[in-house]
Amino acid sequence: MTALLLGMTGCGSDAGAAVRPADTPVPKVAEQTAKSALAGLIVLPRSFGADPKHTTGPFSTESYIANFSADPALDRALLLNSGFVEGYRASRLSPDKKKRYVVELFKAATPAKAKILQDGFWRQEPRNHPFRVPGALSNAHAAYDAGTEKNEAIAEASIVVGSLVALLSVRQSAPLGTSVRPDTALITDLAERQRARLTSNSS
């Protein structure tokens, strides 16, 4: 799909060159994307690096539904009912490329609606293995992933501070026959630091 889009973009540029003045600058997509104030609120693992295969940046209701939602109809309803204002997503990889960390921030219309949004997202999947993360919902489990045909371990947490909802996850996979355990220590540390960052900002 990316190659197809790139090919289409190239054709469009060549076709437009015949009618566009040579000195007219062509704006870049990155320059057209408005910067989000939420970017400065994101807490990331210290040793993790860029994740070239996954998006980092702001998102709207439509872009979230198109790119990240596992249940578009439900997520659209949740975002609309929360008075969703803006969101931001960041993805990072561990140095050995075996762990992927993702954090998403959602800004709702009010603190009460943020709590409803958090609850709606959290209840979308069975989460029956909580562990202790102060001030957060948490869950950790390992299971077979039919899509990748590997064992996958996921540790995740959800936080609400004011009108902001933060969803955090650390995922790692291993070949069949190899055990893999959720990194609850890492997600606990990140959740605590993320909550502190959001609390400090709201005060």
Reported confidence tier of residue 2, pLDDT bands at 50, 70, 90: very low
Tens-digit pLDDT profile for residues 173-200: 888 878 889 999 999 999 999 999 999 9
Tens-digit pLDDT profile for residues 121-146: 999 999 999 999 999 999 999 988 77
Instruction: Report pLDDT for 36.
Output: 85
Instruction: Report pLDDT for 63.
Output: 97
Can you read off the two tokens belonging to residue 149?
Answer: 């045909």
CA–CA separation, 202 vs 111, rounded Å?
11
* Coil, helix or strand at residue 1: coil
pLDDT of 33 > 90? The answer is no
Q: Is the dihedral of CA 73, 63, 140, 112 positive or negative?
A: negative
CB 138 within 8 A of CB 168: no
Cβ-based neighbours of 71, under 8 Å, separated by 6 or more:
124
Q: How far is CA 105 from CA 28, 32, 110, in A?
A: 26, 21, 14
Instruction: Report pLDDT for 24.
Output: 37
Can you read off the two tokens belonging to residue 77?
Answer: 């309803």
Instruction: Report pLDDT for 202.
Output: 80
> Of residues 22 and 105, which shows the higher confidence score?
105
pLDDT of 75 > 80? The answer is yes
18-22, 160-164, 191-195, range with the lowest pLDDT: 18-22
Q: What is the mean pLDDT of residues 71-100?
A: 97
Spell out where the chain has E strands.
49-50, 57-59, 86-93, 99-107, 137-145, 150-161, 164-175
Q: What is the DSSP string of 112-141?
A: HHHHHHHHHHHTTS--------TTSEEEEE
What's the whole-model pTM score?
0.80
User: What is the number of other CB atoms lying within 10 angstroms of the CB of residue 42?
Assistant: 19
